[in-house]
Structure 1
Amino acid sequence: MGECRPLGFLIGLPFAVLALLLSLVGVVIWIIGSTISCICPCCVCFAGLANLAMDLIKLPVKVIQWFIGQIPC
């Protein structure tokens, strides 16, 4: 990714901000899910919920990378 594509970054920025808000929700879900799965290991569904929350946390970076990749050279 040695090329600079500022247009893709600027277009994707509002969507990345929305994804950032979703990632904050993901942080809360991850903390709750991790705590519950540590307290009661029989609750496997909470571990899956924590993994889903990690995907939400990574979402802003994925959104920006997707928008930058859509802009041709």
Structure 2
Amino acid sequence: MTDFTNDTSMPRKRHMTASQREYYAYFAIIFVATLPLAVLTWTLTAVRQLALPSRGPVKSAWSQAQIITPRIFSA
């Protein structure tokens, strides 16, 4: 018979708390909301300068969501 009570090779499941789920939900909503504007801004900048901007639209929207979401939770 095998004893699995002290088996450390299996990773433990981590459960997200309610506040973490809420944070990720807000982050996803804000990211999806800022993505169209980031694409529009990126496109207009590329057309005006005839060169691609250094940051892509996804990275720009991601950084905006990283800025806005903690402000919601700190208020």
TM-score w.r.t. length of structure 2: 0.48
Bigger-Rg structure (1/2): 2
Larger relative contact order (CA 8 Å, sep ≥ 6): 1
Higher helix proportion: 1
The TM-score normalised by the length of structure 1 is: 0.49
